[in-house]
Amino acid sequence: MRELNINSKMKISILIVGLLIAGISVNSFASHDGAKPSGATASGCSDINQLPTLDCTPAPSSVFADSGRLWVAWSYAGHVYVSYSDDKAKTFSLPMSVNSTPEKISARGENRPKIAVNNKGAIYVSWTTPLKKRFTGNVRFSYSNDNGKTFSRPITVNDNLDITGHRFEALSVADNGNIYLAWLDKRDRFKAEKAAKKYHGAALYYSWSDNGGKSFHQNQKIIDHSCECCRVAMQTDSHNLPVILWRNIYGKNTRDHALVNFKSVDKPGEPQRVSFDNWQVDACPHHGPDLSISNADTYHLVWFNNGEKNHGLFYQRLNEKQAATAPVPFGNYKAAASHPSVLSKENRVWLSWKEFDGKKEILWMQYSADNGDSWNIPVQIAQTDAGSDYGFLLMDSKTVYIQWKTSKDGFRLYAIDKVTGRD
């Protein structure tokens, strides 16, 4: 495998040199026009020796920098890559490899490389590296302080190195430069099983860096018995502290959601249960929640549950003291409404999710102008009949977008609203 990757890099270098000699723009060669076949249907995506391309990744993540540049993290053939677009995903730069030494990388719906940028333009990337046993892994991290030209040697953030699960990480960067990582961790389950004791699920752990990602503080456990394979959602509040939302296990196998905010950087508050749908399931649904924090430290939550009475997608609003509105259902449960995303700005809130009508996968959005008190009629944004990733909401300084990658159209940004006023 390593030899193949070395050869691949040599071929890429030779190809780029040849393009430059021929007078062909390297950036245009690497660009993506959104019309060519991509993903699983793209020709050559199974060839480890081909030039790495965003079209061939199943699970990208993206973020806008303050400059308006869109940064995307994705993986291919043992490497995490970062590329950028200055024209809203019409074209992309040549990819930069984050990890020079190839390693296994988790890249699927609920567990994919993450990317964040700070207000000075530094770029941070995290991912999970699977280990030799199933359902195990380590949380990895790297950063760039030169606008993505080079990246630091990746480090392992979990300070427990048992061959067990440290996976499904969430990454967030505060305005003061603190970097936060939270993840699902099975070190306590590993110890319990060695002692012939039962342990449900995993645990939620976190760590932080206050030196730009050069090192991370000692890992801290927030709670035992989290669900073991649903995505973790994390944002930072106006105090530059993390707020974390995840699926937790209550009782024997009730899988509802919990939220924690922090009293200080190293002192989490008491986790609070925020959903009461009472979904009884002895399995992990691979269906995690999402979280957005508006300027007034109002928390906007979305999740999926499949309880006997309460099932489908739900939206709820909390304040930092956890005073909550009643959950509001959205989406069409009969059309398998799933994997919601939420974004907020002052009193405005956007939701997106995906449905399946038996033939097509459909991307939907819904909007509230009054902080989630009322909602407009859902709007269909796009559809595909050839498979797709989940949709993710993001914004630059002017516009709200949904990121959606499909097998036919590749990576797309759909502009859905103006931040400062409706179209």
Which top CATH class is 289-423? Answer: mainly beta
Q: What is the pLDDT of residues 166-191, one digit of tens each?
A: 999 999 999 999 999 999 999 999 99
Output the 3-class SS for the chain.
CHHHHHHHHHHHHHHHHHHHHCCCCHHHHHCCCCCCCCHHHCCCCCCCCCCCCHHHCCCCEEEECCCCCEEEEEEECCEEEEEEECCCCCCCCCCEECCCCCCCCCCECCECCEEEECCCCCEEEEEEEECCCCCCEEEEEEEECCCCCCCCCCEECCCCCCCCCEEEEEEEECCCCCEEEEEEECHHHHHHHHCCCCCCCEEEEEEEECCCCCCCCCCEEEEEEECCCCCCEEEECCCCCEEEEEEEEECCCEEEEEEEEEEECCEECCCEECCCCCCECCCCCCCCCEEEECCCCEEEEEEEEECCCCEEEEEEEEECCCCECCCEEECCHHHCCEEEEEEEECCEEEEEEEEECCCCEEEEEEEECCCCCCCCCCEEEEEECCCECCCEEEECCCEEEEEEEECCCEEEEEEEEECCCCC
> Do 264 and 222 contact (CB within 8 A), yes or no?
no
Mean pLDDT by 10 residues, the chain (423 residues): 33 33 29 31 60 88 96 96 96 95 94 95 96 96 96 98 97 97 98 96 98 98 96 96 97 95 95 96 93 94 96 93 90 97 96 97 97 96 95 95 95 85 45
Phi, psi of 190 (to 5 degrees): -60, -45
CA 151/CA 122 separation, integer angstroms: 10
User: pLDDT, tens digit, for every residue of 316-351?
Assistant: 999 877 789 999 999 999 999 999 999 999 999 999
**Assigned CATH topology for domain 98-287:** Neuraminidase (2.120.10)
Q: Which residues contact 296 (CB under 8 A, 6 or more apart)?
A: 346
CB 106 within 8 A of CB 129: yes
Cβ-contact 68, 89 below 8 angstroms: no
- State pLDDT tens for residues 116-171: 999 888 999 999 999 999 999 999 999 999 999 999 999 999 999 999 999 999 99
**pLDDT value for 56:** 86
**pLDDT value of position 58:** 87
**Same topology between domain 98-287 and domain 289-423:** yes
Sign of the CA dihedral running 120, 70, 397, 325: negative
Task: Break the chain into its structural domains and give their ranges.
Answer: 98-287, 289-423
Rounded to two decimals, the pTM is 0.89
